[in-house]
């Protein structure tokens, strides 16, 4: 008997782990996709809380969220700013299929103007600093210049974002130049983000879902620039309903359409903007305060257009395929503001634009793991033509970007999110080709092609250490190789690089130079309480291609150059700290951020630099270092009849240019001096009034200190002309900038129940007609030393736009 009892006990002992394992519940997973209930667009950044827990999960760029739970019924609550909160119980079992969460957009007109489309608590919870997400309906409501919706101008309302003036060819972020910003449209890079010499932004806003601006904490997946990142996501096409919307304005027409090709499987989206009249050019010529020879856009019809297309295909429940294209084009004739190889044409025809395409495949392996594979090609081309009889020419440049990228996102549990990927970029630059036209005496010149290969691996991990502490760490390891068959200059040892110190030319094949860099990215958030948090961050970034231009106006003659043995990559280190506070009602929030930025291997130019047609452009550059620091205060009212924000930015930007041989090359005596983007004080205020259901009014005010410029210290007479004498760079400062804009939107709310919706937008840009200076010039034909001020949009600009939307209800 004892023998059998012992055997039975042993059997039960050995079997008990299996019995216990069988008694443990099988793991269950909730997989959801959060979308806009009207457009079907995925909502990134939506916050999910389960059973009222403080721990939360956030949807990815595809609106997907996956989380492990105990099998059974749980309460799920979703929040996205501008949308009605969604809460309901779900019974989650092992075979539960992915659930689509359709959220109702409840933002009313100007209440949609928000800094962040994330949840009310996301700004407090995230470890990132200097990150803004903007609802595109917000951008569409801001007072536009000449009636044109403009993303870059809208971003300048945010603290830490500025421009050198009206007509600038981009934005400056925390002391960085315009070429130090990485700009993406659905992962396709943009190299000139403006139309018509910087007067308008490039982007067709009707086709954009959201944008993210990174000023401080830049994720490891981004690289190749040293200042900021603007990541613009295009809308996903509706696969169920046909819709069309657009606008008719004084400058251009817009049209956006979404067409289901296969119900719930495949959809097509197209978004276009086309200029169609000369209203702006006539206004520009009649009101621009000019100085040098009465330069203007001649009487012709300038053209510009944007065209974005996307096809999305749901191959299966786990696979999505997207084909994307973006094309931009500008063409106009302009009085000469430049010279090429010593040629100063009277007038020139200019054309430039992008031809971009991308293919993206998303695969979901499991609720914890998904994969993205991306292929991108971006081709930026410029052409400048002069048809003058004896000095006619055609000058062409080309910048080619080709990228193959694979990225995985892995969430082992609700407290840990990992992203990793590899990226290979091939750069091809044709810096300049000068062609002679029939009857011209110009000698053709072809500059050697520049090629580079940028290979990177990146890894980041966001870990919730405890209820109050969230840490995000990342690293980007990158190698840049400059290669190709070309001749490079060899300079006399011990002397600065110049045309006169070239002693030989070397034939180089294969890899000419190699640059290996490691870029750490760190961020941490600590919650003091439920409505207050502090954050700190650090990131290092490197830039391997440079824009070589001494002109702040975006002429197509701008040149791009790869890093090589003479021009090393630029490097930036940024340290940020911030305090963030919300109110318990989430009606108000405020933030205070400070930053300090170091820069290495930046450059300025020798006096009288020749940059366009110069095979050895490195001898026109003088290397140095830079620094920038500042503080940004922002107060935001998010709810109520009146919404809006006000911000104050204190920002300084300096550079020290000494070159390799300071005794000969240094600028401004080798001392630190103001960079061209140094604007110490900036104030922005935006007020939105939803007076009633039919009317919404907004006012935007901006003030900033004038930027530096190089002023002559004296003049001397040469015949009948006066020649200025310059001794220091950026030793003067233009007058302060300020402007007030007005916008009035008229709608009919009852039309939301009909197939057709329409609204009128009335705006006045520069309401009180401030003649803000873009720059100062000195006319050599005048006997007075008084500077001449150039202003863009010096008088109020009235505009009227009709927006419409058709969708079968």
Could you report the per-residue pLDDT of 171-190, keeping only the tens digit for each?
999 989 999 999 999 999 99
Mean pLDDT in the chain?
83
- 51 against 10, higher pLDDT: 51
pTM metric for this prediction:
0.85
**Which pLDDT does position 13 carry in this prediction?**
42
Q: Does domain 25-106 have CATH number 3.40.50.10420?
A: no
Instruction: Inform me whether the pLDDT recorded for 32 exceeds 60.
Output: yes
Which residues are CB-contacts of 107 (< 8 A; sequence separation ≥ 6)?
82, 83, 114, 135, 137
> Which residues, other chains included, contact 608 with Cβ-Cβ below 8 Å and sequence gap of 6+?
none
pLDDT at residue 467 greater than cutoff 70: yes
- Rounded CA separation 76/30 (Å): 10
Is residue 792 within 8 A of residue 199, CB to CB? The reply is yes
DSSP state of 752: G
Q: Compute the average pLDDT of residues 278-300.
A: 49
pLDDT in tens, 402-440: 999 999 998 887 778 899 999 999 999 999 898 888 777
For residues 329-355, average pLDDT: 75
Residues 469-481: what's their mean pLDDT?
A: 95
Strands (E), 2-52: 28-36, 47-50
CATH tag, 110-807: 2.40.170.20
337: phi then psi, degrees, rounded to nearest 5: -120, 15
Q: What is the mean pLDDT of residues 520-544?
A: 93
With a pLDDT cut of 70, the percent of the chain lying above it is 83
Give the model's confidence band at 115: pLDDT under 50 very low, under 70 low, under 90 confident, else very high. Answer: very low
Flag whether pLDDT at 31 surpasses 80. Answer: yes
Contact 333, 349 (CB under 8 A): yes
Q: What is the mean pLDDT of residues 123-148?
A: 66
What distance in Å separates the CA atoms of residue 38 and residue 99, rounded to the nearest whole number? 17
Strand 532-543 versus strand 570-582 pairing type: antiparallel
Q: Are 188 and 506 in contact (CB under 8 A)?
A: no
Q: For the chain, give the percent of residues with pLDDT over 90.
A: 39
Range in 67-76, 138-147, 252-261, 678-687 the model is least confident about: 138-147
**pLDDT tens-digit map of 302-332:** 789 999 999 999 998 789 999 999 999 998 8
Model confidence band, residue 38 (pLDDT cutoffs 50, 70, 90):
low
Model pLDDT, residue 781: 58
Task: Kindly tell me if the per-residue pLDDT of 64 is higher than 90.
Answer: no
- CA dist 456 to 221, 543, 782, Å? 9, 13, 55
Res 789: pLDDT: 72
Residue appearing with tokens 């990485």: 182
Name the pLDDT band for 144 (thresholds 50, 70, 90). Answer: low
Confidence at 111, pLDDT banded by 50, 70, 90: very low
And the tokens for 225? 């620039």
Q: Calculate the CA dihedral of residues 797, 802, 805, 806 and round it to 10 degrees.
A: -160
Residue 345: predicted pLDDT: 65
Q: Which residues contact 462 (CB under 8 A, 6 or more apart)?
A: 127, 416, 417, 418, 470, 471, 472
State how far the Cα of 779 lies from the Cα of 722, in Å rounded to an integer: 8
What are the tens digits of pLDDT across the range 616-656? 999 999 999 999 999 999 998 888 888 888 999 999 999 99
Average pLDDT over every residue of 513-534: 93
- The pLDDT of residue 450: 93
Q: Give the start-to-end residue ranges of the domains of the chain.
A: 25-106, 110-807
Angstrom distances, CA of residue 371 to CA of 29, 410, 416, 494: 18, 9, 17, 53
State pLDDT tens for residues 668-725: 999 999 999 999 999 999 898 887 778 888 899 999 999 998 888 887 777 767 777 8
* pLDDT tens digits along 558-587: 889 999 999 999 999 999 999 999 888 778
The C-alpha atoms of residue 420 and residue 406 are separated, in whole angstroms, by 9
pLDDT of residue 301: 63
Give the pLDDT score at 520: 97
pLDDT of residue 16: 43
pLDDT of residue 36: 74
The total number of residues written for the chain in this structure: 809
How close are the terminal C-alpha atoms of the chain, in Å?
Answer: 80
Cβ(711)–Cβ(727) below 8 Å: no
Give the span between the Cα atoms of 584 and 580, in whole angstroms: 13
Q: Tokens in use for 49?
A: 């809380």
């Amino acid at each position: 008997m004892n023998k059998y009892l012992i055997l039975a006990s042993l059997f039960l002992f050995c079997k008990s782990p299996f019995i216990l394992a069988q008694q443990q519940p099988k793991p269950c997973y909730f997989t959801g996709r959060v979308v806009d209930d009207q457009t079907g667009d995925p909502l990134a950044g939506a916050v999910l809380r389960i059973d009222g827990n403080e721990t939360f999960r956030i949807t990815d760029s595809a609106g997907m969220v996956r989380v492990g739970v105990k099998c059974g019924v749980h309460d799920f609550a979703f929040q996205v700013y501008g949308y009605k909160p969604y809460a309901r119980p779900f019974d989650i079992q092992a075979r539960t299929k992915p659930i689509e969460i359709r959220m109702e957009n409840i933002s009313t007109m100007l209440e949609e103007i928000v800094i962040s489309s994330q949840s009310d608590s996301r700004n407090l919870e995230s470890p990132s600093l200097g990150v803004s997400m903007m609802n595109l309906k917000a951008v569409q409501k801001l007072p536009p210049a000449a009636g044109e919706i403009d993303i870059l101008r809208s971003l300048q309302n945010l603290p830490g974002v500025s421009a050198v003036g009206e007509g600038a060819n981009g934005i400056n972020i925390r002391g960085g130049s315009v070429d130090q910003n990485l700009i993406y449209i659905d992962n396709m890079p943009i190299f000139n983000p403006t139309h018509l010499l910087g007067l308008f932004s490039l982007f067709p806003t009707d086709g954009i879902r959201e944008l993210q601006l990174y000023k401080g904490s830049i994720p490891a997946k981004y690289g190749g620039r040293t200042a900021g990142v603007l990541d613009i996501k295009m809308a996903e096409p509706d696969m169920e309903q046909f819709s069309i919307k657009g606008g008719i304005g004084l400058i251009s027409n817009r049209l956006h359409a979404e067409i289901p090709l296969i119900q719930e499987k495949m959809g097509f989206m197209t978004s276009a903007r086309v200029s169609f009249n000369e209203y702006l050019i006539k206004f520009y010529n009649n009101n621009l305060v000019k100085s040098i020879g009465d330069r203007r856009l001649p009487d012709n019809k300038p053209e510009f257009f944007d065209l974005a297309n996307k096809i999305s295909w749901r191959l299966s429940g786990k696979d999505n395929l997207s084909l994307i294209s973006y094309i931009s084009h500008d063409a106009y004739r302009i009085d000469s503001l430049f010279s090429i190889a010593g040629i100063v044409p009277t007038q020139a025809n200019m054309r430039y634009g992008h031809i971009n395409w991308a293919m993206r495949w998303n695969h979901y392996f499991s609720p914890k793991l998904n994969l993205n594979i991306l292929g991108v090609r971006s081709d930026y081309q410029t052409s400048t033509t002069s048809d003058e009889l004896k000095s006619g020419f055609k000058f062409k440049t080309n910048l080619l970007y080709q990228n193959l990228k694979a990225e995985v996102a892995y969430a082992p549990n609700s407290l840990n999110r990992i992203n990793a990927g590899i990226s290979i970029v091939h750069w091809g630059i044709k810096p300049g080709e000068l062609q002679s036209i029939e009857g011209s005496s110009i000698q053709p010149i072809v500059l050697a092609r520049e090629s580079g290969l940028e290979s990177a691996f990146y890894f980041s991990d966001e870990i919730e250490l405890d209820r109050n502490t969230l840490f995000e760490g990342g690293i980007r390891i990158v190698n840049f190789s400059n290669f190709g068959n070309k001749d490079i200059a060899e300079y006399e040892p011990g002397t600065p690089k110049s045309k006169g110190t070239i002693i030989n030319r070397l034939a180089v094949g294969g890899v000419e130079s190699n640059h290996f860099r490691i870029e750490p990215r760190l961020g941490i958030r600590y919650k003091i309480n439920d409505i207050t948090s502090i954050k700190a961050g650090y990131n290092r970034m490197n830039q391997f291609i440079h824009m070589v231009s001494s002109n702040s106006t975006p002429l197509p003659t701008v040149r791009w150059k790869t890093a090589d043995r003479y021009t090393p990559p630029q490097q930036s280190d940024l340290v940020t700290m911030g305090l963030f506070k919300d109110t318990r009602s989430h009606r108000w929030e405020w933030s205070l951020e400070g930053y300090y930025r170091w820069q290495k291997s930046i450059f300025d130019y020798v006096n009288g630099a020749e940059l366009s047609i110069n095979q050895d452009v490195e001898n026109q550059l003088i290397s140095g270092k830079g620094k920038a620091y500042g503080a940004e205060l922002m107060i935001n009212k998010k709810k109520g009849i009146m919404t809006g924000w006000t911000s104050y930015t204190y920002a300084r930007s300096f550079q020290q240019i000494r070159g390799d041989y300071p005794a000969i090359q240094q600028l401004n005596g080798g001392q630190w001096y103001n960079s061209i983007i140094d604007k110490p004080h900036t104030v922005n205020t935006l007020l939105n009034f939803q007076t009633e259901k039919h009317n919404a009014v907004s006012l935007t005010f901006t003030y900033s200190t004038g930027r530096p410029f190089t002023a002559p210290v004296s003049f001397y007479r040469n015949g009948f002309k006066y020649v200025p004498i310059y001794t220091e760079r950026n030793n003067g400062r233009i007058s302060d900038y300020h402007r007030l804009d007005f916008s009035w939107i008229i709608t009919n709310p009852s039309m939301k129940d009909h197939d057709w919706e329409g609204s009128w937008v009335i705006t006045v840009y520069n309401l009180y007609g401030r003649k803000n200076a873009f720059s100062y010039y000195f006319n050599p034909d005048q006997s007075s030393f008084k500077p001449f001020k150039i202003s863009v949009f010096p008088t109020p600009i009235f505009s009227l736009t009709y927006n419409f939307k058709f969708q079968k209800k």
